[in-house]
Amino acid sequence: LEEGARSCLMRFRHRLEDDIKPPYLMDHMVTDGVLTGDEEERIKNQDQAAALLALLLMKDNRAYISFYNAMVQEGYNDLANLLHRDLPLGLPEGLKRSTDCCTPYVQTVLSEGGVPQRPVVFVSRPELVNRVREKLYRLQKEPGWVTVFGMAGSGKSVLAAEAARHHGLIEDCFPGGIHWLSIGQLDKPDLLVKIQSLCFRLEQSLDSHPLHRPPNSLDEAKERLRFLMLRRHPRSLLILDDIWDSTVLKAFDLHCRILFTTRNRSLADSVSGSRYEVEVESGLDENKGLEILALYTKTKLKGLPEEARSIVRECKGSPLVVSLIGALLREKPNRWRYYLGQLQQKQFKRIRKSSSYDYDALDQAMAASIEVLPDEHREFYKDLTVLEKDTKVPAKVLAVLWDLETEEVEDILEEFVNKSLLFVDSHNKPFLYYLHDLQLDFLVEQNRTQLESLHSKVVHQYQQHYKDAHSTSGDEECLYWIRFLTYHMAKANLFQELYSLMFSLDWVSTKAQLMGPAYLINDYVEYGPILDKETRSQFQEFLSLNGHHLEQRPFPDVVQLALSQPRTSEVYKQALLQARDRATTG
């Protein structure tokens, strides 16, 4: 709260305490999202006026303004006049217009920028959302950072997306657009690839073909991004979801407008410019947790059984865990006591690396949700253990893995989504499916001893399906395979397969054509230690010499390029064979 407003409240405290009737005022304030239901309850059990003022003194400017507006609306004109002089200035106009979150303009902007939609069952957290929006408004006139920090699964990503879902905010502050980038745990080469794809998106959205080849090094990528953000997309917001590492954040230190979510509050210390932060405390407050359960079970808040409150407590307000339980109850509405019992059992207790999150509750909820799956679907769900974090897959990839029709796979995935065991990005056509980090942690933990065979299954199913020729259609499915086949081979310890893939000129050509050379170089760096050193350096040499050619379109003749390698190089030898082959077949 600003000094002036605080002082005003202190000076007139006694008069206010004597004259106001808090219940009506609090109604307005709850509606404005500056007071939570819990706080309202607490105040009702005390000397109401004094308690409300005490609380107000601990709140922010918005609470003061809301209190003032409530006074005006309830006809306390004289008292309101006392407060008026010290009204904090600068409540952004745009934020005063509420209820304009879902205009077609907002939807277009967010969908173009890849901002995720609301989860199917969604509760609003107005106080938090407003806090984030208010910080975003500070970026109206100058670049800077907004950090949204809190524990895993506390709802940061959903909150970040929700904050952006506001007509006035976008119009006033970010008319250049809102661009979402999921980050997660990355190493340097991955980071380069992420920035490349962001640059590609930013260039594409200008309706012009990319003028340049993709940037080749991290420094170059930063420069390109700086140019695109400052020159081509001025006054736009970049949302970086789930940052772990300050080196990653530094790559975006480009004097632009950024909101990022993280578990690590101190990350923003490593970058320059104005910084604001919002903490997402331990998750949902109790009433919001109850609201989620009520929505899942289609009951009124008041009609929830007494176990509901205990369930929310056991979940420690984690929206992810409450959603899992809610989805179970939707199907078995008379199991409140049973699921509460399950949550309390903690039979899966294990020592975890992170102590910052109540994994027990998540374990229990995941185990319970998986248990109600039909046997064969449980096996399918287990197969998802092999996905890399922060990776979204189309149903077709799983159709290959499970040897089913895509439609059948979609039905199975829909079941997982309904149980909150999986999430879907339906902006994208085809839909893309993904797990929350913590769910993947759970699966990896559960299936630790079978990782190798699970990855082998992926590789073998791919080989079965595609026989000798690689997938080259360029659709989402194909891109998944081209990107991750090497990853699965390495995890499956299928080294022979990995060598022959990575040391094949055909593969190099396919991957370069579909994804650009950066991913390829990334592979050689990543799997370098398990590859033959000599041959690996020949391929890397070839790529670094020809990188710029491989980015051109129309795509060059790779055999021709390879023929200019030294004769001793494996790259040359393969090219020669292919050239001869061509000559004989005409």
Applying CB under 6 A, the residues found at the interface with ligand ADP are 119, 121-123, 125, 152-158, 261, 292, 319-320, 323, 420, 423, 436
Between 362 and 395, CB nearer to ligand ADP: 362
Min dist. Cβ of residue 151 to ligand ADP (A): 7
> With 0-12 CB in 10 A as exposed, 13-18 as middle and 19+ as buried, what is 303?
exposed
Min dist. Cβ of residue 34 to ligand ADP (A): 18
Look at strands 432-434 and 393-394 and give their pairing.
Answer: antiparallel
Between 86 and 314, CB nearer to ligand ADP: 314
Spatial distance between the Cα atoms of 36 and 56, rounded to a whole number of angstroms:
12
Phi, psi of 443 (to 5 degrees): -65, -45
Min dist. Cβ of residue 154 to ligand ADP (A): 4
Between 71 and 443, CB nearer to ligand ADP: 443
Q: Are 172 and 287 in contact (CB under 8 A)?
A: no
Q: Are 52 and 25 in contact (CB under 8 A)?
A: yes
Nearest CA-CA partner of 33 in 162, 147, 144, 139: 162
Between 417 and 561, CB nearer to ligand ADP: 417
Between 357 and 524, CB nearer to ligand ADP: 357
Beta strands, E only, 263-413: 274-280, 393-394
Between 61 and 420, CB nearer to ligand ADP: 420
Min dist. Cβ of residue 264 to ligand ADP (A): 12
Phi, psi of 12 (to 5 degrees): -100, 15
Between 126 and 143, CB nearer to ligand ADP: 126
Between 434 and 480, CB nearer to ligand ADP: 434
**H-helix segments, 473-585:** 476-491, 495-502, 505-515, 517-526, 533-550, 558-562, 570-585
Between 202 and 248, CB nearer to ligand ADP: 248
The tokens 């080294």 sit on which residue? 495
DSSP 38-56: HHHHHHHTS-HHHHHHHHH
Spatial distance between the Cα atoms of 69 and 63, rounded to a whole number of angstroms:
10
> How many C-beta atoms lie closer than 10 Å to residue 387's C-beta?
22
Give the 3-state secondary structure of residue 259.
strand
- C-alpha separations of 326 from 30, 298, 319 in Å: 25, 10, 10
Q: How far is CA 219 from the centre of its chain?
A: 25
Spatial distance between the Cα atoms of 28 and 366, rounded to a whole number of angstroms:
39
Spatial distance between the Cα atoms of 409 and 415, rounded to a whole number of angstroms:
10
Between 242 and 551, CB nearer to ligand ADP: 242
What is the token pair recorded at 182? 């999921």
Spatial distance between the Cα atoms of 569 and 541, rounded to a whole number of angstroms:
10
Phi, psi of 153 (to 5 degrees): 75, 10
Min dist. Cβ of residue 263 to ligand ADP (A): 8
> How many C-beta atoms lie closer than 10 Å to residue 578's C-beta?
17
> How many C-beta atoms lie closer than 10 Å to residue 9's C-beta?
20
| Number of Cα atoms under 13 Å in the Cβ half of residue 260 | 29
Min dist. Cβ of residue 156 to ligand ADP (A): 3
Between 86 and 360, CB nearer to ligand ADP: 360
Min dist. Cβ of residue 219 to ligand ADP (A): 30
Give the 3-state secondary structure of residue 146.
strand
Min dist. Cβ of residue 319 to ligand ADP (A): 3
Min dist. Cβ of residue 11 to ligand ADP (A): 39
Between 157 and 456, CB nearer to ligand ADP: 157
Min dist. Cβ of residue 133 to ligand ADP (A): 15
Min dist. Cβ of residue 78 to ligand ADP (A): 40
Min dist. Cβ of residue 204 to ligand ADP (A): 27
- C-alpha separations of 57 from 50, 142, 329, 504 in Å: 11, 29, 41, 69
